[in-house]
Amino acid sequence: MNKHTPSAESLSDWVAPARTAVIVIDIQVDFASAEGVLGKAGVDMSITEPAVAAASQLVEDAREAGVPVIFVGLQTDAATDSPVWGEWRRRKNGVDEGGGICRSGTPGADFFGPKPEPGETVVPKLRYSGFFGTSLDAILRARQIDTLVVCGLTTECCVDCTVRDAFHLDYFVYVPTDACAAYDEQIHIGALNSLELNCATLVTTADLRSAWATQEESNQ
């Protein structure tokens, strides 16, 4: 994992503010807080805490460097629940546990940790990928962005699907390994290894901070 970390000088060009956006995926109460649906169901949210903290710092670093930050979050309701997903759960588990997570208008759908500031873009989604059925690609094209830094939850699911779709849409994709998490560390590592093999460059939040600082110095 993270075998070929680029130099700060190279990375500073590749993630320059004029061409890059930070995409924050699904860091929401139901996915990241002990008070959310998963936390109340017994999922140990302590495993996500370091990634949420790192993502918060990444967002602040991006803002300071002039890199736009886009928040993507799941927003569900009964009218948009997928009947196929319900049937898949029944076939897998023998029961449909229901789709009541990140329900629109409930506290569980609120962003947790890093939060949008006034004027920042928020993109709601209904499926795993931040691109599926959303305006995200059009927003990025309009801003002439060709490079994405994708962080959030969870590494093997919504981060993975968003990164792969971004690559298929011809974006350069960087994944800060410390600003993503899964509820199982081995699944997190496996997902990162797969992304690195196929479609993304793995970095850290410190790598990005150094790159943006290098870019700022070169512009002075």
- Residues taking part in catalysis: 26, 125, 158
- CA 114, 119, 125, 128 dihedral sign is negative
Q: Which residue has the tokens 């093997």?
A: 156
Alpha helices in 20-135 (DSSP H): 29-32, 37-40, 49-65, 83-93
Compute the distance between CA of residue 55 and CA of residue 53 in angstroms, rounded to an integer.
5
What is the crossing angle of helices 49-65 and 205-219, to 10°?
10
